[in-house]
A and B are shown apart, each in its own frame.
Chain A
């Protein structure tokens, strides 16, 4: 178990292009950190530098207090699960899992290897498959063999590179919870690369968002969702993604395509000078005014829109509301969309309504939202103007406390199990 510290890490490939640029990150002992970002943003490169498969161009990498820049992968004592599993096809499942133990010659007796492999196999429900060859296993089973190989030795940290991306949706969901359970149970420091934001949000204690090799924000999933630092993070985290609307500010009145809202004087002061802004509104923060009553409705503001298409999903309803873009921010939004791997050709707002809503295709609907949930961004820099540092710190302290408790619980649990078991 160990801490991992990245200090101004830079990676330039042969062509001089910085695939990873000046990334600093402190990963605590036992922490589960996610590296997330669109494809090609340098996540794998960063992970491979940590594990030692890629040279570090500049900066320092420290694991457990020792600088490891120049150490070979085998001297770093890390375990990695590859995207394509990289199982050894000529070895049985048992020997695949035992491989790292066999390499550490003389360290483990045959009985110990046997015991450890069986333990790992039990944890991953691979017992019946130990004698089979990887070629005869299903995708999910191969994935578990790869994890077995990672957990069989006491590695200082686990590194995952998109381990679930080759599985179908259902299996992916199952394995996701499996990985979370395993990590909590073992309490091992984990770095997990994904481009899937559901994995990022559900698995991580903290999530590091990368964009073109640069770190955008490192925070708990909740902080990323509630207090994103910029347009990119705001657009990347959340599903369906945050709606970006052109906005114009005069005094404390913000004009949106669907009407005017009042914003706090504090935010208005920060936005001063910037005439045109980008407003961010999460789909789930909008409601059908008809399905709301009482005090909640009073807090917000309502507006009338023409609904283009609706999608009823049982638990909720998506409604698509077209709006005319403002050419002054349209270019910025198109660029952002491209970066986020999006393909939205049309300007429309998506809102997630209560499933009871009776809004249907072509309706004119009255929607509601709370102006306090609105995010505002400076179009030139992309920076958030509404981020509340104090609140962000509170969320941070809160999630840190929750993580500590969860880790303690799992250690107590492990101890209890350890004592209860016959020696």
Chain B
């Protein structure tokens, strides 16, 4: 990428703006982290930095009283989210390929329906789903959450991926076919590798949506058989009924943020890679 030349003053301005935004965005996270390190007595001392750093809250959720609630929830969250993401990515890849490459009747309808589903308010389908899931036995099961997650991640995934596929020159695929590839081989050996950045981006978006969900998680589960972390947090209780479980909640919140941060750090290179450069004349 060719850098835009900026004067020193302009640069300074950009830095100030960037720092301001970063601080604004990270402040709540830092606050929660700080809370998670405070002993119960200091939780309401209105100070940002803990005077006494303690890992008590983490112990509480990993092996203490809250562990019974938190550990199964963590397992559910990871399992359900990964499965939903994997299915969404595979299905979205195939669908987006069809949408961007093939001409078939109903293509427009498919795309607009997908969009409509994406913008449909989640809260309005929760109650009907609750009744339906109870009737057919999906209530409080993994599939019971995976299915609604698919319905909210798929449309976005399809739209993102078909934009990526459209960027890949047609010629590339046709060259592969002339070179002796079947349609499937051309897709697998040429299109998919080229779409890797798109696939990763889509996977991450889908993962976030499912990982962060609260509404489905709280409404469609009742036990630790399938309750995900965001929902489980609401069930944390303090040491006595007059004590808020703030410390443990904060620690749990930090723990569930870690995978998200790790994923973004690991994949950010792949996301930005401008892989199609040089495919055609340049």
A interface, CB within 8 angstroms of B: 51-53, 72-74, 78-80, 82, 84-90, 99-100, 103-104, 133-137, 139, 142, 149, 153, 166
Contacts and interface: CB of A to CB of B under 8 A. Distances in A.
Nearest to A136: B278
B278 A99 contact: no
A82 B282 CA distance: 15
B243 to A, nearest CB: 57
Contacts of B174: 53, 73, 82, 86
B45 interface: no
A103 B278 contact: no
Contacts of A139: 281-282
Contacts of B25: none
Contacts of A82: 171, 174-175
B223 to A, nearest CB: 47
B179 interface: yes
B277 A89 contact: yes
B281 A135 contact: no
Contacts, number: 83
Given A133-B278, A142-B281, A90 B180 contact: no
A79 B278 contact: no
Contacts of A72: 177, 182
Given A103-B185, A135-B277, A86 B171 contact: yes
A53 B174 CA distance: 7
B278 A80 contact: no
Interface in B114-167: none
B190 interface: yes
A134 B171 contact: no
A135 B176 CA distance: 18
By size class, the interface of chain B is 20 to 34
Given A89-B277, A139-B281, A84 B180 contact: no
A87 B275 CA distance: 12
B64 interface: no
Contact of B175 (A52, A86, A153): A86
Interface in B240-282: 275-282
Contact of A80 (B175, B193, B276): B175
Contacts of A85: 280-281
B178 A134 contact: no
B180 A100 contact: yes
Contacts of B190: 88
B172 interface: yes
A62 to B, nearest CB: 18
A90 B282 CA distance: 15
Given A86-B172, A88-B190, A90-B275, A74 B178 contact: yes
A89 B181 contact: no
28 contacts: A52-B178, A53-B174, A72-B177, A73-B177, A74-B179, A79-B178, A80-B175, A82-B171, A84-B169, A85-B280, A85-B281, A86-B169, A86-B174, A86-B175, A86-B279, A88-B172, A89-B276, A89-B279, A90-B193, A100-B179, A100-B180, A103-B179, A103-B180, A135-B278, A142-B278, A142-B281, A149-B175, A149-B179
